[in-house]
Amino acid sequence: MNSNTLHIVFKLFLLTFYERERTENLTRLTPPLHFVPNPRDIEGWHFRNANNTGPNDGSVNAPQEEREFIFSPEIGGTIDGPQASHGVTTEEADRVEAFGHGHLQITHRELSPPQAGEKARILAMKFRCTIVWRQKALEEMTANAGNMRSVLEDSGKTGVQ
């Protein structure tokens, strides 16, 4: 995966990543997977109280302006792909997070006017997004880090105690 193959798409305020030539959403294993809204789903009602009469006062359990997510090109292939014989394991989820993660900060949003009994909608939104991912296989990075530490320790320049 490199910068030429990563496609970031916001569809109705749903954060999704795709690789060229694939339809698999590489962020779909971002926790939590059940029970509360996922941070990838950004909806107007997240920012209003349960009655939609004012700001979220804690009466709605939903992510707010700061959202974190994980992604990996292994999703849909070696992790939770069509040939998978089991659900996603903790180790696989850790591999996804070790490959890539991001932070989305909503800096401005406009919602539909408050109206009791209705769901708020997002009319406009601005955000900043930071995305970090590995360029090398985890094993290669670990081996290189170990080799670099050995070289630095031999030269007495690590600063590591």
Q: Is the pTM of this model over 0.75?
A: no
Q: Between 7 and 33, name the one with better pLDDT.
A: 33
SS3 67: strand
The confidence score (pLDDT) of residue 83 equals 75
- Summarised one tens digit per residue, pLDDT across range 67-124 is 999 999 999 888 888 777 788 888 999 999 999 999 999 999 999 999 999 999 999 9
- The structural domains of the chain, with segments of one domain joined by +, span 6-134
CB of 73 closer than 8 Å to CB of 136: no
Per the DSSP assignment, residues forming a β-bridge with 15 are 10
What gap in Å lies between CA 39 and CA 91, rounded to an integer? Answer: 21
Query: What beta strand segments (E) does 72-142 contain?
Result: 100-111, 122-133
pLDDT-derived band of residue 135, with 50, 70 and 90 as boundaries? confident
- Summarised one tens digit per residue, pLDDT across range 40-65 is 999 999 999 999 999 999 999 999 99
